[in-house]
Copies of this chain bind each other. A is one copy, B any other.
């Protein structure tokens, strides 16, 4: 399970420090139990047996801790997607699984870890780096799948790659972005299948 340590969200002190990990760990359990807003920085401090002030030696703000947790949460989705893509042989199948996994993992997060989902949705709404990095990573994976499909002759090559990826990104957006996904829960299981068909038809050479 690889983290999104991307873009180094505001943090202080040594990057690898036992206490930093303790904070993140405590934050993960507290946030998922009581939610981001209901847990105070003092709660986290108490949980690891330090003073509140010490927390701020490692994180710039409470939001920075939130972003760290958000990154962890979203990187779990990314990991699931990467696994799904790796488990498929053809680019067509990779795309199908990518889209389906993306949506179903998101839905599952919504129902099984609502509090963490809410952080992700808020993060996406506020344009936090953690959410941006996530979207960017999804786009990278998509780009790789499309490129592979082009190279294997499965997908058309006339349209510029960026353009193709961008429009597919638009199609997937309502199921990728946690802020939007919550409004599409009713179709989130079936839509990826149908939309994959549509996209793949448009991708035919």
Contact = CB atoms under 8 A, between A and B. Distances in A.
Contacts of A183: 125, 177, 179-180
Contacts of A8: none
Contacts of A194: 163, 166-167, 170
Which of A125, A171, A191: most chain B CB closer than 10 A? A171
Number of copies: 2
Nearest to A201: B202
Interface residues of A, number: 23
A166 B195 CA distance: 10
Interface of A: 125, 163, 166-168, 170-171, 173-174, 177, 179-180, 183-184, 187, 191, 194-195, 197-199, 201-202
Contact of A198 (B125, B179, B187, B199): B199
Given A171-B195, A173-B184, A180-B183, 7 more contacts: A168-B198, A174-B174, A177-B183, A179-B183, A198-B202, A201-B201, A202-B202
